[in-house]
Every structure is written in structure tokens, then in C-alpha cells.
Chain A
Amino acid sequence: MSFTEFLLQYWPRLLSGTGITVAQFLLAAVLGIAISLVMGLMKLSENRLMRGTAITYIEFFRGTSLLVQLYWIFFVLPLFGITVEKFTAGYLAVGMNIGAYGAELVRGGILSVPKGQWEAALALNMSPAQRMRRIILPQALVNMLPPWGNLMIELLKGTALVSLISVTDLMFEARQINNTTFLSAQIFGTALIIYYILARFMVTPFMRWLERHMSRKMGRS
């Protein structure tokens, strides 16, 4: 079978797999960003309980591997009566994992905002919530966007693991097609290229655009 014939025969499955991968990526990204923000702020909190919770969360998710977390959520949680559907378990695990790494970026970003900005907000009699939302976070966001670009690539790569709990993403389809055709070089090669295109020509340019857009908005370009 020539490569063209191969593509003609299997493109619908590759396409649907890519769709699931993109869906997993987007859902995990939303969850991961939300967790990063909450945990990053909690780690900077004065309250010991909040800080302790955040540190435990971050160290736990960064200290174990994503695959272990994924299996735990999918195979162990149901034993406690919490059944999570495989699609949900997939983005939950990936998002929670990335959230722990993102929390450190959020913390670093907030700490990088000069002290004068905090004092100025205080002088203007802003409440802590106002200060964070209107003064600190926007500047922190601009500072931390470059490492977020890398983290988003890690997130995309992380979604490949959900295939191991039978979510029918690109990785899963590639394995299935390989099992029936044994055309390993063709199928895995094509899947590699699709992931590469997603990462290099979609995620990275979007993050670059966001960086430029945000720094223009802040008048820093």
C-alpha cells in the first residue's frame, strides 16, 4: 500500500483522533490555568492553612508522574464510589498535573511585579482583591507568558497519555491502526507530524501572539 492510499483510507480516523486530542488539550488547558491561578495565589497567601494546601498540592502533582495520577483517577477513584468517565478522567488528570507546574509560574510572575506597584495600589486605597485584579495580575501575566508557551506544549504532549485509558485520541487511533495494519512507520510517522503541526504551527504561534498582544496592551511593546 502506498502512502497516499494509506492516508486516503485512514484520514477520517486520524482526523477524529486529532479532534479528540484538541478537545482534551483545550479542556485540560482551561482546568490547568484555573488551578494554576488558585494554587499560585494560595501559595502566596499569609494564611498557613492555604499555603500548606497549595504546597501539598504542588509537591504531590509534581512529585509523581502523570501516568500514575491518570491511573489513580481512572482506576482507584471508582472504588470510592466516584466514577469518572474516561474522557473526563483524561483531561482532569492532565489539567491537574499541569496546574501544579503552572502554579509555580503564577507565583513567580506575581513575585516579579515590582514592590512599588503594591505600594502604589495601597496608597490608592484599593482593596486586596482590586489590587490583585487590576494592578498585580495583569503585569504578572505579561511576565509569565513566555514560560507558559513551553508549558502548553508539555500539556499537548501530556494528552497523548489519555490514550492509555482508551480515550480515542490521536495516539489511540494510531495504535489501533498499527495493530491492524502493521504499517508502523507510516502511521506513527503521520501521528508524529500531526502532533508537530499542532505544537509548532498552532500552539506556539498563538502563545507568541498572546505575548505580543498583552505587552502591547500594557504599553510595553
Chain B
Amino acid sequence: MLEWRWEFVWEVLPRLIEATGNTLLAAGGGYAIAVVLGLVLALAQRTPYRGLTFVVREFVEFIRSTPLLLQIFFIFFVGPQFGIRLSPWTSGMIAIGLHYACYLSEVYRGGIDSVARGQWEAATALNMTAFQTYRRVIIPQAIPPAISGLGNYLVGIFKDTPMLSVIGVTELIHTANAIGSEHYRFFEPYTLVGLIFLAISLPAAGLIRLFEGYVRRKMGL
């Protein structure tokens, strides 16, 4: 029977905590790309250019229906074939950012659709340009209903970062694998990684709910 060795835990914990930093960095970096690109993808689907709308729509569907793991490999390996070398971190951020941008574009779309028609008409009546309308009228009202979706995908992106280990990003799972093969002990590293994920994602989900409530109150909803 296997026993849990505390001294081994204390020995490897500092390395895992360091890797947690990398995991959070990867999640944050990917999310930053996704938040911006997602808005672009959502707005591109609202332009009057039929061709553009169609292409973006199909692209989003394609990315959302295919595995992130495969997209990570695609971006990491296809670049060098055409002479573009990307580091594991760069390709990982692009893959995860792009993948979640497509999910977030749907969240934004829902938020924008929930803005009342009268708001658009009022902006037109005030002779605002399209840019002004979005920036000052539509988007500020589209964000609050989208917050729970935006927050859930932040936790989602965090839980998907272990996939970056396959191209050599030294996040939690990658480090746990390394520790496991150095010491021939996988029990503690993998269990600790699971606990670290729980310890971050559960409070994060709670905080997002609190934040959502706060924003709704602020907006007088």
C-alpha cells in the first residue's frame, strides 16, 4: 500500500508553487488575448459586409468544435514548416487566446444582443458615429450581463493551461511530470496539482459571483 510522504511534499512544494505562477501567467496572458480578440470577433459579425460576417462566423464555429490540444500542436508545429519559429510560450498563448476568443465572442454577442433597441435608435438620433455608439452606449451596457460568462471562461482557461505542457511550457502538470520521473513518485505531485487547481478555481468562481453582483448593483440592475 502506498503512503503519503510529507517530507517529499515539502521538498517538491516550492517547485510546484513556482509552476503555479507560470500557470497563472499563462492563463492571464491567454485571457488578455481572448478578451480583446473576442470583442473584435463579436463586432466583426455585426458589420454589414456579408462575406466578412460569414467567414468570421464559420471560423468561430470551427475553432469551437475542434480540440484545443490539436490547435496547440497545429500552431506550434506548422509555423516552423513555413519558416516561422515560435517559442512554446508564444504559440501556447496564441492557441489558448484564439480558442477562448471564439468562446468569448459568443458571450459578447449575447451581451450586445441584450441591449435594448431603443438605445441604438437613441444613439442614431444623437447623430453618433458607429464607433461612438459602440464605445459610449452599447458596450458599457453589454458588459454587465456578460460578466458571469466572461468570468466562467477565465476559470475555464485556467483549467485548460495543463494542455500547454505538451509543447513544453513549464506549468503545473509539466513540473509534476518532471518531479515524478526524477523521483519515481507520482502520487504526491499529481495530487498536489489537483489540490492547487481546486484551491484556486473554487475561490475564483466565488469571487466572480460576488463581482457580478457588485457590478449589477452599481448599474442599478
Q: What chain A residues lie within 8 Å of B80 (beta carbons)? A: 184
Q: Check if B71 sits within 8 Å of A192, measured CB to CB.
A: yes
Distance, CA A174 to CA B1, complexed state (A): 38
Cβ-closest chain A residue relative to B161 = A65
Q: What chain A residues lie within 8 Å of B186 (beta carbons)? A: 71, 75-76, 79
Cβ-closest chain B residue relative to A153 = B65
Cβ-closest chain A residue relative to B76 = A184
Q: Decide yes or no whether B198 CB sits under 8 A from chain A.
A: yes
Q: Check if B66 sits within 8 Å of A184, measured CB to CB.
A: no
| Count of A interface residues, CB-CB < 8 Å | 42
Q: Is the interface of B mostly helix, strand, loop or mixed?
A: helix
Q: What chain A residues lie within 8 Å of B194 (beta carbons)? A: 64, 68-69, 72
Contact of B78 among A62, A71, A171, A185 (CB under 8 A): A185
Q: Check if B77 sits within 8 Å of A161, measured CB to CB.
A: no
Q: Is the interface of A mostly helix, strand, loop or mixed?
A: helix
Q: Check if A161 sits within 8 Å of B163, measured CB to CB.
A: yes
Q: How far is the CB of A143 from chain B (nearest CB, A)?
A: 19
Total number of A-B contacts with CB less than 8 angstroms? 114
Contact of B69 among A75, A161, A196 (CB under 8 A): A161
Distance, CA A79 to CA B5, complexed state (A): 14
Q: Check if A195 sits within 8 Å of B69, measured CB to CB.
A: no
Distance, CA A81 to CA B64, complexed state (A): 39
Mark each residue of chain B from 151 to 178: 1 if its CB lies under 8 Å from any CB of chain A, else 0. Answer: 0000000011111011000000100100
Q: Check if A65 sits within 8 Å of B74, measured CB to CB.
A: no
Q: How far is the CB of B136 from chain A (nearest CB, A)?
A: 33
Cβ-closest chain B residue relative to A69 = B194
Q: What chain A residues lie within 8 Å of B67 (beta carbons)? A: 156-161, 171, 195
Distance, CA A195 to CA B74, complexed state (A): 13
* Chain B interface (Cβ < 8 Å from any Cβ of A): 1-2, 61-62, 64-71, 73-74, 77-78, 80-82, 159-163, 165-166, 173, 176, 180, 186-187, 190-191, 193-194, 197-198, 201-202, 205
